[in-house]
Amino acid sequence: MKNFNRFTSLILCSVLLLGGGTLHACAKNKAPEWVVNRVSDANYYIGIGYAPKVKRSTAHYDLAAQNALNDLASEISVSISASTLMITIEDDKQLKDDFTSIIKARAQKDIEGYEKVASYEDRKGYWVYYRLSKSQYAATQARKRRLAVESAKVFYLAAQEAEQKMDYKTAIIDYAKSLDAVKAYLNEQILMTVDSTEINLTQVAYSRSYELLNSLQLTTVRNEVTCKMGESIPESDLVCSLQTSKGKPIANFPVMITYSERSVQNANKFTDDQGKAGFVLPTVRSRKSVETIRFALDINKLLLESAVDFAVRRWLVQIPVQDVTMQVSVVKPSVFIESIEQNLSQASSRLVLASMFEHLFLNAGYFISTNRQKADYILKIATNTTAKSQSNGLYSTALNGQIQLYYKDRVVYDRFLNNISGTQLDYVKAGLSAYEEGARQIEIRYFREFEAAIVKQ
């Protein structure tokens, strides 16, 4: 019976071998040489991929194939140190890594025309063997590089033409596009002939972008502006002008402002036909005496129009450009205090609450106006005390009333004082005690709210 089984197995092996079956089915542990030892070939890039088997799954076939392609790509060495252009980004590790990834990704993406040489599997895993002709890969790369350079040259010549017409915006965008077209070849010199002169495209396109951006002249209509806290700065005071070095206005160029206190809405605009752009700062809320506004060219917005790769934009945005700063002198507004303070329905001998507000406003840098018509804000106080109770020779009162802050006939803050108690030896003194307590609460609580209303109105 054992001889019969051995004879049957030999027949089965013969059938498998003659029928092209895999060798491991008959000769266990007989892995081919390319699985055991790394294969090399002067004429081919080689990729060997392996993936372990998972029960009831065929995913190992795809994984091994992908690993083989990755191995194949790793054989295609890519160096970025040879390009003198890369010196301009040498100090920026993130940017250098971005371009390195782009260049290496090109090597992997361009793998085509490879062939499967063999495969092998056992009970534990699956191997696959790919190879790619070095001469075929070189030819493919040369063709794709040639197409990229041709595209870059078209953009470069368009940039040159725009520059001659002093259309600097279009020129910078087209120079960016020319760099974007060959971004995957920045580890190489991109040489081309323009007007009978051989140039390194990437170096010249970058340097022209640099020189154009640095030649632009950005100015403002004024160097300083004064504004009251809580008010806006109109567009007429926040105007910048952009010109060429020869004084020609540059239209439709993106500019932006930044404000030292906080971010600004509508902080990005394009210059008009006269090369000017105006901005509005809705409300100055700073409690500082000085803030700054910075005007600058919005290079990132400009490059977004070019639709170039993020790494190319990030590289060009680092080109230093002119900016100009305007000082904002923040002035505190004036307040007129109108107070009716009664004690037991009689005019109080001392305006305790009004005195406290005046003290706090002056300490915070505000102006106390004696002219109601010229004041920026009107503070109205209307209060009275009432008798509450008497016990063991002590008298208690309650202070009630309303304090309102007006800005241009509009109430911007309203505070009610409710049942603030005062106790003394008689009702009049108890009423004054209630006013002292009301003044203390204004100092520690309510004044901050009134000032916030001025800032936010």
Indicate which CATH number applies to the domain containing 103: 3.10.129
Same domain, 420 and 290: no
In a domain, 20, yes or no: yes
Same domain, 83 and 121: yes
Same domain, 42 and 23: no
Same domain, 110 and 185: yes
Q: How confident is the model at residue 10 (pLDDT cuts 50, 70, 90)?
A: very low
The mean per-residue pLDDT over the stretch 38-56 comes to 92
Give yes or no for a contact between 417 and 399, defined as CB atoms under 8 angstroms apart.
Answer: yes
- Please give the pLDDT value at position 43: 94
- Summarised one tens digit per residue, pLDDT across range 422-445 is 999 999 999 999 999 999 999 999
In a domain, 323, yes or no: yes
Residue 215 structure tokens: 């030649």
Q: How confident is the model at residue 82 (pLDDT cuts 50, 70, 90)?
A: very low
**DSSP-derived 3-state class of residue 329:** strand
Please list, residue by residue across 284-322, b when 16 or more beta carbons sit within 10 angstroms of its beta carbon and e when fewer do: bbbeeeebebebbbbbeebbeebebbebbbbbbeebeee
Which of 300, 330, 360 terminates a domain? The answer is: 330
In a domain, 168, yes or no: no
- Summarised one tens digit per residue, pLDDT across range 102-133 is 666 666 666 778 899 999 999 999 999 999 99
In a domain, 158, yes or no: no
The mean per-residue pLDDT over the stretch 303-310 comes to 85
Same domain, 57 and 180: yes
* Number of separate domains in the chain: 4
Same domain, 3 and 103: no
- CA distance readout (Å), 52 to 6, 124, 281: 31, 6, 64
Q: How confident is the model at residue 17 (pLDDT cuts 50, 70, 90)?
A: very low
Same domain, 387 and 253: no
Q: For CA atoms 374, 378, 381, 382, give the dihedral sign.
A: positive
Which of 302, 330, 358 terminates a domain? The answer is: 330
Of 24-33, 196-205, 358-367, minimum mean pLDDT range = 24-33
Q: Which domain holds residue 118?
A: 31-153+176-199
Q: Which CATH number belongs to the domain containing residue 247 in this structure?
A: 2.60.40.10
- Please give the pLDDT value at position 92: 59
Full-model pTM: 0.67
Same domain, 235 and 320: yes
Give yes or no for a contact between 125 and 26, defined as CB atoms under 8 angstroms apart.
Answer: no
Which of 330, 345, 363 terminates a domain? The answer is: 330
In a domain, 160, yes or no: no
Q: How confident is the model at residue 9 (pLDDT cuts 50, 70, 90)?
A: very low
Residue 303 structure tokens: 């490059």
Q: Phi/psi of residue 130, each to 5°?
A: -115, 155
Same domain, 271 and 388: no
Residue 175 has pLDDT above 90, yes or no: yes
Q: Which CATH number belongs to the domain containing residue 415 in this structure?
A: 3.30.160.150
Same domain, 373 and 230: no
CA 454 vs. chain centroid, Å, equals 32
- Please give the pLDDT value at position 90: 55
Same domain, 344 and 376: yes
In a domain, 280, yes or no: yes
Report the mean per-residue pLDDT for the chain.
Answer: 86
In a domain, 204, yes or no: no
Same domain, 340 and 424: yes
In a domain, 144, yes or no: yes
Q: Where are the alpha helices (DSSP H) in 295-412?
A: 299-306, 310-317, 352-363
Tell me 251's DSSP state.
-
Residue 22 has pLDDT above 90, yes or no: no
Rank 12-16, 60-64, 80-84, 187-191 by mean pLDDT and report only the highest. Answer: 60-64
